[in-house]
Amino acid sequence: MPMLLLLVACGDVGVPLDPVAPTETDAGVRGGAEADEFFDAAVLHELVVTLDPDDWAVLREQARSYYDILGEGCMEGPIESPYTYFPATASLDGEAMGEVGVRKKGLIGSVVPDRPSLKIDVGEYVDEQRFFGLEKLVFNNGRQDASRMRTCLAHDWFGDAGLVAPRCALAHVVVNGEDLGIYAHTENIDEELVARRTGEFAEAMYEGTLSDFREGWTATFEYETKASTGAEIEAVKDALSTGDDGLLAALDEVLDLDAFFTFWAAESIAGHWDGYNGNTNNFYAYNTASEPRLRFVASGPDAAFDNRKAFGNGWVGTLSALANRLFQHDEGRECFEAELSRQLDENWEGESRLAQLDAWAELVADHDDSSMREGIAATRVVLENREDDVRKGMARGADAGELRGDVCWQTVGTVRVDFTTTWDSYPRGDLWTGGEAEVEYVIEGVAYPSTQDGVSAGTADDGRALWLTISEIAPGVYVAPYVLFDEEQLTDGAELQVDGDEAEAALLYWDQAATDTWETVAYLANGVLHFDTASTAAGAELSGWLEVEVVGSGG
């Protein structure tokens, strides 16, 4: 399989590069062949971490909320990390790492307290300490992947497609004696990864999270190297404003356009809907001294291969500025479709993907459960049909659609509830008509009067206090604002700010004629949940009011 990018000829766009063998000696590159054994795909690796139990408890609970990402300051800069390193000792496959730093990782979708994704910094507390040349090790929990295998399947595919991609293998993770199950052990994406794959360190390198090459979307790029100034990002943004006649040439001046078509095709075949082209998310862009044009690295692909129609009715993600513009450009679309076909013809090799999935299923047999087995079976169906599905999608055709809309929260309405209920009425009481509530729902300037209301409060599944109102606003149509907060906050006169810190809240919606389940349609923010009387004693009266804004985004 190709190690480096093999460029597709498409008109006069792009000049193929001569493959350069990865090296561990030139320019001080470390962590190559000396660390290969720890990414051996035929081995179930074993990570054992020990740290202070109090630190572990804090680490598990660290998280961002939607309020942090989409609320005040949204898109004004890189999303701030809530995670801190804690001292620990660790070993991988019985090889001790020494004293290391360990922290949680993830944005929103993968963040859970019970089995968090982890990043280990081998040199956090001991200068220049390395583990077989590696500075950092990454263990992804695959929360969006019941099979636990799609991250490694996707990274293997990206590498085979000709992109810079991290090595990846499965690992069994144990922390403080607790079995956390199967994780994806992935090589850290940084300038050293680029050097190990190309023989040359990345100069400028950027991580993209809700980031794009258009106005209002560039500030969220995170600068990963000292040489990163943002100039490359601005150059691509400017090139995208070129007219159709000169578009490809302008882009190819600042972006390795053939490499981008490969990246776009690889994401599409993988159904990586949470990547750059499908969601303006989970990607890196870099250049090197000998190639100043930007190239891309895919990241966070635990949701790849999860659906035979990963991009809805279409067969490709075009929410990004680059993909959207190129898809509407005749020659650009031609180049992309040619690269899709080339990848399927030359590099996909579906049988080898299935063989790897089956080998991993056997490897983890002592650690799987019914959910994992079902996830593996579902992934197998996607892989079995992938080539046919993509080719049928190409034949069927698709429109570029719209660019991703504004993701930042905007006020779309208000909710006011005056209530009286009792503690422990949730989940034991009559949620539909219990308690007393007077409600006012105004959405986009329209008032929605209710025909019946229920209000309750009690302990939620996650151990926090839950306050909930359910209202019928039309026959068989219900809305339910709810608020989650810590039980110790529940006292007479308490006034909780609904801001994601003191309390977080959302609005649920259910149309019985259309679906059989509730769905979250908006979040609640910029308001207050006030208690006149409150207690967590069984049957205690709770009374007060909620007044909040209903917020949503254009994304």
pLDDT-based confidence at 110, cuts 50/70/90?
confident
Residue 554 is predicted with a pLDDT of 65
Among all chains, which residue has been given the structure tokens 């991993």? 360
Q: Is 45 helix (H, G, I), strand (E, B) or coil?
A: strand
Per-residue buried b or exposed e for 252-265, using 16+ beta carbons within 10 Å of the residue's own CB? bebbbbbbbbbbbb
Residue 72: pLDDT band with limits 50, 70, 90: confident
Q: How many residues make up the chain in this entry?
A: 555
Q: Which residues are CB-neighbours of 121 under 8 A, at least 6 positions away? A: 85, 100, 101, 102, 103, 135, 136
Q: Which amino acid is at 96?
A: A
Centre a 10 Å sphere on the Cβ of residue 76 and count the other Cβ atoms it contains.
10
The Cα 123–Cα 99 span in angstroms is: 8
| 397's tokens | 């055709």
User: What tokens were used for 66?
Assistant: 């939607």
| 135 C-beta neighbours (distance < 10 Å), count | 18
State the pTM of this model.
0.89
Q: Classify residue 517 by its DSSP letter.
A: S
pLDDT above 70 (res 162): yes
pLDDT at residue 298 greater than cutoff 70: yes
Does residue 38 carry a pLDDT above 90? yes
Return the percentage of the chain with pLDDT > 70, whole number. 94
In order, the DSSP letters of 252-285 are HHHB-HHHHHHHHHHHHHHT-TTSHHHHS-SEEE
The answer on pLDDT for 26 being more than 80 is no
Give residue 27's pLDDT band: very low, low, confident or very high (50, 70, 90).
low
Could you give the 3-state DSSP secondary structure of residue 550? strand
Residue with tokens 């290391």: 100
Band of the pLDDT at 28, cuts 50, 70, 90?
low
Residue type, 10: C
pLDDT band at 1 (very low <50, low <70, confident <90, very high): very low
**pLDDT tens across 210-230, in order?**
999 999 999 999 999 999 999
Q: Are strands 95-105 and 202-208 parallel, antiparallel or unpaired?
A: unpaired
Q: Give the rounded percent of residues in the chain with a pLDDT score beyond 90.
A: 86
> Does residue 19 carry a pLDDT above 50?
no
Report phi then psi at 483, rounded to 5.
-135, 135
Lowest-confidence region among 91-100, 288-297, 306-315: 306-315
pLDDT of 108 above 80: no
First to last CA, the chain: 37
Q: Which amino acid is at 244?
A: D
Residue 130: CA count within 13 A, CB half-sphere: 11
Of residues 553 and 450, more confidence is placed in 450
Residues 146/302, Cβ–Cβ less than 8 Å: no
Sort strands 222-223 and 202-208 into parallel, antiparallel or unpaired: antiparallel
Of the pLDDT bands very low, low, confident and very high (cuts 50, 70, 90), residue 30 is: confident
Q: What pLDDT sits at residue 4? A: 36
Pairwise CA distance, residues 291 & 310, whole Å: 33
- The residue among 198, 207, 208 whose CA lies nearest residue 162 is 198
Average pLDDT over residues 368-389: 96
The residues that bridge with 417 in the sheet, in sequence order, are 439, 546
Quote helix, strand, coil % in the chain, to nearest 5.
30, 30, 40
CA dist 377 and 435 (Å) reads 46
Cβ neighbors of 476 (< 8 A, separation 6 or more) are 511, 512, 513
Averaged pLDDT, 252-258: 98
* pLDDT for the residue 66: 87
Q: Give the pLDDT confidence score for residue 240 in this predicted structure.
A: 98
Q: What is the pLDDT of residue 555?
A: 59
> pLDDT grade, residue 24 (50/70/90)?
very low
Residue 7 has pLDDT above 80, yes or no: no
What residues contact 202, with CB distance under 8 A and at least 6 apart? Answer: 190, 191, 194, 195, 224, 225, 286, 287, 288
Report pLDDT digits (tens) over 524-554. 999 999 999 999 999 999 999 999 999 988 6
With tokens 């259910």, the residue in question is 510
Please provide the average confidence, as pLDDT, over all residues in the chain: 92
3 state SS for 96-136: EEEEEEEEEECCCCCCCCCCCEEEEECCCCCCCCCECCECE
Which pLDDT belongs to residue 447? 97
